[in-house]
Amino acid sequence: MNLTHLLASTLFLLPFQYPIQPHKVPLRNTFVVAAESVIDQADNINIKSSDDQYEPQMKQLKAAQATLTRMIDEDGEHEVVDATNNLIFAISACHIQAKGNAGTTQCEPIISRARTGAMEAIDKHKSAGAWLDGPPA
């Protein structure tokens, strides 16, 4: 075997040793705007409010989430919906704790992390109330 054959066979093995990360397909703008709406509505929910105030807000948030879910068209969009579902679950769980007078100091950081995860999923962040490109800081 000459040096050329040896080099060629080694190059053939490189992709298996060093996997190439798949290219992330950009999300559709309308889908991103719908995800932003879910995150914005989640931000407006007061987890410590009474059920009379909380339930209509949560109903509106779940309607926005249902719209986002119906919009799924590509694989990357499933990840966004999963991230916003995590955010909604964290809010619901924290509200239940607040109703039970258990305190929310432990669950509020979970909501914050879920919110950050949702923003990372759409590769956006908020600054001074405006949505900007790029992951949250």
CA dist., res. 42 & res. 38, Å (int): 6
CA dist., res. 114 & res. 74, Å (int): 22
The tens digit of pLDDT for each residue in 118-132 reads 999 999 999 999 999
The tens digit of pLDDT for each residue in 28-67 reads 999 999 999 999 999 999 999 999 999 999 999 999 999 9
pTM of the model: 0.80
Q: What are phi and psi of 22, to 5 degrees?
A: -65, 145
Q: What are phi and psi of 107, to 5 degrees?
A: -90, -20
Low-confidence winner among 12-16, 70-74, 96-100 (lowest mean pLDDT) = 12-16
Output 7 or 106, whichever has higher pLDDT.
106
pLDDT at 101: 84
For residues 6-11, give the mean pLDDT.
37
Q: Which single residue is written with the structure tokens 């950081």?
A: 109
The tens digit of pLDDT for each residue in 9-34 reads 333 443 434 333 343 678 999 999 99
For 70-101, b where at least 16 C-beta lie within 10 A, e where not — what string?
eeeeeebbebbbebbbbbbebbbebbebbeee
How would you write the chain as a 3-class SS string?
CCHHHHHHHHHHHHHHHCCCCCCCCCCCHHHHHHHHHHHHHHHCCCCCCCHHHHHHHHHHHHHHHHHHHHCCCCHHHHHHHHHHHHHHHHHHHHHHHHHCCCCCCCCHHHHHHHHHHHHHHHCEEEECCEEEECCCC
Name the band, by pLDDT with cuts 50, 70 and 90, for residue 1. low
Strand partners, 125: 132
